[in-house]
Amino acid sequence: MYREEIKVLDCTIRDGGLMNAWHFSDEYVKAVYDACVESGIDYMEIGYKSSEKAYSREEVGCWKFSDEKDIERIVGENNTSLKLSAMVDIGRIEPDDILPASDSLLDMIRVAAYVHQIDKAIWLADHCVEKGYEVSINLMAVSNVLERDLEEALEDVGKSKLPIFYLVDSFGSLYCEQVEGLIKKYQEFLPKKTIGVHMHNNMQLAFSNTITGIIQNANMLDATFLGIGRGAGNCPLELLLSFLKNPKYKIRPILGVIQEYMLDMQKEIDWGYHIPYLITGSMNQHPRSAMKWMNSEEKDDFAAFFSQMNEKGDL
């Protein structure tokens, strides 16, 4: 289980923010940052970088934009071994909004894209590499991508400057055999690039699928405190660190944040495994319809949601 090349990336604030529009208190973000530092986590994804043309600051919190002044307010100069990351969505960021790495507290930019956006993603990724960042492309919704489309995308990625490419189970629908097969395909087309895994927990497989990634030599691993994330959430960080048994990682600071902040938070932000998320995951559907159902008065009428999904598909 111990492998020196493995790096752990915490995306608690970025992915967890999908459940409360990134309205986290500075106190909580600072607690997560401090715990990541104390725990020996390699990367912390502090939020998204987004254009104000795409989102209103009246509707979303500051971690949808991750401005330098906001990052500095939390981390100071970040004179630690923890590297900071932000995610960008194709079409929701202007290239000039991304400062040169020498002028930023961010160390890494992760480009999120669907397969039909891969050309734009590669251009933006190469642009960020040239600006001095560590960079990944996170190919979303791969469970819905046709094999030939995937292979063509991987061929193009292989020609890029990009160092890291992520397998993302956006819908929480993949089984371990599928994860194994996809990673082998990624490695076949991208032999000189690092493979990462980002798993969702719709069918309670985020942790086991992350382990499958480790077995298949994926060396960038995403996780979050108490599994917080969109809908069913992500691989729980505390579980992953327990499995890795790397002496540089310390679990106690993670548990402290969960105990002090997240038990109460979970009463207000309803993330984690629930039957509606299972249903969308098992149908390989985007969880948006399940999230809408979970916010309705009918949230516990699982049979009705199952019937609705079978009749109409993803709403």
What does the longest C-alpha to C-alpha distance in the chain come to?
A: 55
Instruction: Give dist(CA 70, CA 20) in Å, integer.
Output: 18
Concatenating the DSSP letter of every residue in 116-162 gives GGHHHHHHHHHHHHHTT-EEEEEE--GGGS-HHHHHHHHHHHHTSS-
Q: How many helices (H) and strands (E) does the chain have?
A: 13, 8
Tokens of 193: 């690039």
Instruction: Identify any residues that bridge with 195 across adjacent strands, giving them in sequence order.
Output: 165
Rounded-to-integer distance, Cα 288 and Cα 246, Å: 36
pLDDT of residue 2: 75
Distances (CA, A) of 183 to 165, 214, 215, 306: 10, 10, 10, 31
- In the structure encoding, which two tokens stand for residue 148, read together? 């030939």
Q: What pTM was estimated for this model as a whole?
A: 0.95
> What distance in Å separates the CA atoms of residue 223 and residue 242, rounded to the nearest whole number?
12
Q: Are 142 and 166 in contact (CB under 8 A)?
A: no
132-186 pLDDT per residue, tens: 999 999 999 999 999 999 999 999 999 999 999 999 999 999 999 999 999 999 9
Q: Which residues of the chain have pLDDT under 50?
A: 314-315
Query: What does the mean pLDDT of the chain come to?
Result: 96
Domains of the chain, CATH where assigned? 7-268 (3.20.20.70), 275-312 (no CATH)
